[in-house]
Amino acid sequence: MPQQPKKPIIIFDFDGTLVDSFTPALEYLFTTLIPQFKITEISRAQIDQLRSQTLFQLIKKIRFGWLKVPLIIWKINRWSDQYAWSFALYDHVPELIRSLKKHGYSLHILTSNKTFVVETVLRHHQLLEEFTSIHASGGLFNKDKKLLQLLRQLNLQKSDIVYVGDEIRDIQACRRADVRIISVSYGLNSSAGLRQFKPDFLVEEPRDVFSIVEKLHHESTPPSPALAD
């Protein structure tokens, strides 16, 4: 009996991959925080340029004073906890999630956001049931270690999974953890920025994730014993 091809387990990032948290966060930054902190060094026009940068380059370039950064991040997080329920999912994300699930893929989330935020947003969009597990790390860094921890928890091999994320640091984390990544260019980092870091796959739209995952699934068919001999 030929073995069935193994379906890759899909681990999604949350912010910038499933949910568009940046559009409302930028709105809050420009309408509330920038006037409140009297920041003059950044304009909306600069934001697009910054999308090809890593997080460190980005913070360095903005130059509004290191002392203000932790407070601004804290304020954005607090605001996001409160209003995340109203954040929109990217176009075609619900269709992507539902068709992956319908085709028998197991879906998980690994995020630096908080579990209750992820659950609130997904419940609001009636997608919570589609995910098998949610792993919230509550920190911006060390995603590679979190990925390896998750593999151990789910009792999976590195080659069983594929990660889907929107940032350069997601590519860096997957490289360190030796895990495949599908980068999406509609989130924080631009297509040009992501390409420089050579993700395994780069897609422009959520629905393109489906065809890549299907391709990985069919490529994973092991040779039949007769052929292997």
> What are the angstrom distances between the C-alpha of 79 and each of 30, 33, 121?
14, 11, 14
Rank residues 13 and 144 by Cβ distance to Mg ion and give the closer one: 13
Q: Which of 15, 97, 100, 183 binds Mg ion (CB under 5 A)?
A: 15
The token pair that represents 14 in the structure block: 């949350």
Rank residues 15 and 20 by Cβ distance to Mg ion and give the closer one: 15
User: Of 8, 16, 49, which Cα lies nearest the Cα of 206?
Assistant: 16
Q: Which of 10, 11, 12, 16 binds Mg ion (CB under 5 A)?
A: 16
The number of angstroms, rounded, from the C-alpha of 180 to the middle of its chain's C-alpha atoms is 13
Q: Which of 8, 11, 13, 136 binds Mg ion (CB under 5 A)?
A: 13
User: Of 188, 180, 184, which Cα lies nearest the Cα of 208?
Assistant: 184
The token pair that represents 40 in the structure block: 């003059």
The token pair that represents 15 in the structure block: 């912010």
Rank residues 8 and 187 by Cβ distance to Mg ion and give the closer one: 187
Least distance CB 24 / Mg ion (angstroms): 15
Rank residues 20 and 166 by Cβ distance to Mg ion and give the closer one: 166
134 to 193, contacts with Mg ion by CB under 5 A? 166
Instruction: Kindly state whether residue 20 participates in binding Mg ion, applying the rule CB under 5 A.
Output: no
Q: Which residues bind Mg ion (CB under 5 A)?
A: 13, 15-16, 166
